[in-house]
Copies of this chain bind each other. A is one copy, B any other.
């Protein structure tokens, strides 16, 4: 026996907390003049971005931010959103990027539940922010990010200090004081709408954020200096950790106010974009725009897509115009993508339809994820790799969340048995790849956004004429999926589809409202459970694929 412990303890020379902050610091030193952020034709270098973020972090610390402080932001994919991804971790605060598509009630719930001490507000979202602040119990310090194309309204009453003024007054945090005290410390808080009413606050740690950032780089074989177009919202799993991936590879964030077809195509061409991420709907949008403009991309653009399997027809068209598509899979709880359809060279020999089928599978774990498994949710036994036996997708490893904020019951349930239980159903094929068979039964994914069917049903049930309601996903060319409602009316009642939709729009973010309504009896199991798989079949038939 050899003693490999005595005199071999960890100390400051050989152990530092894993944190994305280290990647920012290093790139600012190694590539100071490389562009970090491009927006509206303006270019900001890595050295300048680093210096600004250290000052922003300094300003946050003056506000009292520490490792137990939530710093929230309601901001589109502007340069400030990228800077916040660096500066808030440098302050040791916990970054809470809020879904910009939520209604004021949704934003207010998050501000209160997350106990935001500071809120960064993008002027383009001033109206929803002001309304949310009126509802919310909390009154966070406001910092105002003004977009000259959509300035704050004259009658903006919520107060606040301009973003540039906020950071201008502060001393930058010292370079040797940027890291968290522990890599297990929280770095971000991301709310996810589960299948039950209120969203849950998913807490990320520095260790996981660092590893998934590096993991993106490894899975995508990122070259030095990728030029990355921000269509994926930065509030989605912190832009799936890509601000930190770009820091690892000294890449450039090309920012966009909104991911419209023309703006995407314009940026692809004028900014020499090499990489981008998004839901299949964004891939479809960019492809359609390129087709409409009769443009073939001058160089291939790597496109990482997640949120739903990319349809074969979209894949084929996208590759035609010059996108090289990588399909990844994950959930908010695993920092965004943690599985990848890892392409095998031998598949290049397969017919195109077979290739599309293979590419639509969710694949295998990221190298940085210890395990992606498909298990019987009761016994935890792994399903056989037969491509037929369904089980629940489970994740285990360092890119799994700390847990849900102030929700120990949900955390315990999610981690029961020592795996994160995704709620997604899948099979494992003989070649080892996992394929989803049913996104968790209730979730509708519309334009990359999760919609809880139960939340929509809850509103429908508020309508006086509704006896029973069930909401499922209907296929939609543009959005991927949209909610379709099946309703049994109360005896003698009568109401139009339009009236029901209008009722919902008063109570829900518009993207969550049903696009189609069917008034008919609901199919049920013998124990009285509504059979959603049957409703999905009806929705498919009704909306017609």
Contact = CB atoms under 8 A, between A and B. Distances in A.
Contacts of A249: 218, 221
Contacts of A18: 398
A222 B221 contact: yes
B69 A8 contact: no
Contacts of A6: 406, 408
Contacts of A22: 367, 370
A184 interface: yes
Contact of A4 (B31, B203, B415): B203
A16 interface: yes
Contact of A2 (B34, B94, B343, B418): B94
Interface residues of A, number: 79
Interface string A1-38: 11110111111111110100011001101111110000
A114 interface: yes
Given A14-B400, A364-B30, A398-B16, A218 B418 contact: no
Contacts of A396: 12-14, 16
Contacts of A184: 10
A518 interface: no
A432 interface: yes
A294 B33 CA distance: 40
Nearest to A408: B7
Closest 8 CB pairs of A and B: A12-B418, A7-B408, A14-B400, A4-B186, A8-B402, A30-B364, A13-B415, A2-B115
Interface of A: 1-4, 6-16, 18, 22-23, 26-27, 29-34, 67-70, 94, 114-115, 184-186, 203, 208, 214, 217-218, 221-225, 248-249, 342-346, 363-365, 367-368, 370, 395-398, 400-403, 405-408, 411, 414-415, 418-420, 431-432
Given A2-B114, A3-B406, 11 more contacts: A4-B203, A7-B403, A9-B402, A12-B418, A14-B396, A16-B398, A22-B370, A214-B218, A218-B218, A221-B224, A224-B343
